[in-house]
């Protein structure tokens, strides 16, 4: 079961920093998971309805929406990071 982590304002909006989730059948990419999360509605719908505002890492490596995910992965969502 993948461990899904939320950082910064995503954590604040959702009210928790992590959850374990059984991936529904057919969810094999980050984009599939984003769709599942968005379909929950509420804060999830608002956050994941605007995927351009969210970045993702799979197993602690930056990833894109088309990255593959599996049942033992760690998937982290966080806002874009800027440097200075």
Q: How far is CA 48 from CA 53, 63, 84, in A?
A: 8, 16, 27
pTM: 0.92
**What are the tens digits of pLDDT across the range 37-51?**
999 999 999 999 998
CA dist 13 and 84 (Å) reads 26
**What are the tens digits of pLDDT across the range 61-80?**
999 999 999 999 999 999 98
Q: State the pLDDT at residue 1.
A: 85
CA dist 31 and 40 (Å) reads 15
* Mean pLDDT within 29-39: 97
| Structural domains of the chain ordered from first start | 3-78 (3.10.20.30)
Assigned token pair, 69: 């995910």
């Amino acid at each position: 079961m993948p461990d899904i982590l939320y950082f910064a304002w995503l954590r604040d909006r959702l009210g928790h920093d992590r959850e374990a989730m059984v991936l529904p059948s057919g969810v094999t990419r980050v984009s599939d998971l984003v769709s599942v999360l968005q379909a929950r509605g509420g804060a999830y719908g608002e956050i994941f309805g605007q995927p351009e505002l969210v970045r993702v890492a799979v197993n602690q490596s930056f990833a894109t929406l088309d990255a593959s995910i599996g049942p033992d992965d760690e998937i982290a969502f966080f806002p874009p990071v800027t440097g200075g």
